[in-house]
Amino acid sequence: MASILVSRDAGVLSVTLNRPDKLNAFNPGMHKLLRDALEQALDDDAVRCMLVTGAGRGFCAGQDLSERDVGANAAPIDLSVSLGSNYNPLVRRLRALPKPIVCAVNGVAAGAGANIALACDIVLAARSASFVQSFSQLGLVPDSGGTYFLPRLVGTARAMGLALLSTRLSAEDAERWGLIWKAVDDARLMEEATQVALALAAGPTKGYGLIKKAIHASAGNSLDAQLDLERDLQREAGFSEDYREGVAAFVQKRKPSYKGK
């Protein structure tokens, strides 16, 4: 059984984490397939949005802990190897993809699984889903961007509480705290997430990619630097075919037909 399921429909590349018996925890094979899917999302012009979800009752439980030998006689494990070769490149790819990524969190998102969801652009979660920074329970530090995303999304006080206490946050609280875009009824999660993904896939893809760039850059920029960046990105956006189409459609009082170019 493939640990990642991939399909493409109407401009949306749907990716399902598929190790349900382990709540879709990551092993190296799953990392490899997800890397391939992200490469496809980047290279294939027909892909204009990505939709990520999990199979079964969980979204992703982070690193597969059953693959680590922590016995008294086992050699110490250098965790930086797995971060350097798998998790960090994954987070960087998600953030750098110049196309929107919708994440439908269908169940618990724990450890790196929570932070990979937060690295996506629009996060919807089923009301029964939850987010837990389980790292401190293992004596570890939130990784996969956790210590970057959390304080920026919810502030230092809440980030520190989540990280130190490994408190399980409900989808509704995650929405209320500003950690995610929206909590939705379980039965409606995939329908709503698909609707959002389809709408994005039919939109001005170049402009969306530039929006991602601008929003992500702002956390590390001064206002001056950000104004300069907006000027430069707007220049690029203004040269796109979709900008012409957007203005023409507005003036002609019709629905725009974007090509993603």
Contact residues: ligand LHQ, CB under 6 A: 22-23, 25, 61-66, 79, 82-83, 87, 108, 110-112, 132, 134-135, 138, 140, 143
Contact present, 174 and 103 (Cβ < 8 Å): no
Identify which of residues 84 and 178 has a Cβ nearer to ligand LHQ in the complex: 84
Identify which of residues 162 and 201 has a Cβ nearer to ligand LHQ in the complex: 162
CB of 173 to ligand LHQ, least distance (A): 16
Identify which of residues 109 and 210 has a Cβ nearer to ligand LHQ in the complex: 109
CB of 16 to ligand LHQ, least distance (A): 17
Number of Cβ within a 10 Å radius of residue 66: 9
Q: How far apart are CA 166 and CA 144, in angstroms?
A: 16
CB of 133 to ligand LHQ, least distance (A): 9
DSSP annotation string for 29-66: HHHHHHHHHHHHHHH-TT--EEEEEESTTEEE-SB-GG
Residue 213, Cβ density class (10 Å: 0-12 exposed, 13-18 middle, ≥19 buried): middle
Contact present, 196 and 48 (Cβ < 8 Å): no
Between the two ends of the chain, the Cα-to-Cα distance in Å is 37
Q: How far apart are CA 142 and CA 127, in angstroms?
A: 24
CB of 60 to ligand LHQ, least distance (A): 8
Per DSSP (E only), the strands in 134-243 are 169-170, 182-184
Q: How far apart are CA 259 and CA 77, in angstroms?
A: 48
CB of 95 to ligand LHQ, least distance (A): 17
Identify which of residues 27 and 221 has a Cβ nearer to ligand LHQ in the complex: 27
CB of 149 to ligand LHQ, least distance (A): 14
CB of 148 to ligand LHQ, least distance (A): 15
Identify which of residues 93 and 99 has a Cβ nearer to ligand LHQ in the complex: 93
Identify which of residues 121 and 143 has a Cβ nearer to ligand LHQ in the complex: 143
* ∠ CA 154-199-201, rounded to 5°: 95
Residue 233, Cβ density class (10 Å: 0-12 exposed, 13-18 middle, ≥19 buried): middle
Identify which of residues 58 and 246 has a Cβ nearer to ligand LHQ in the complex: 58
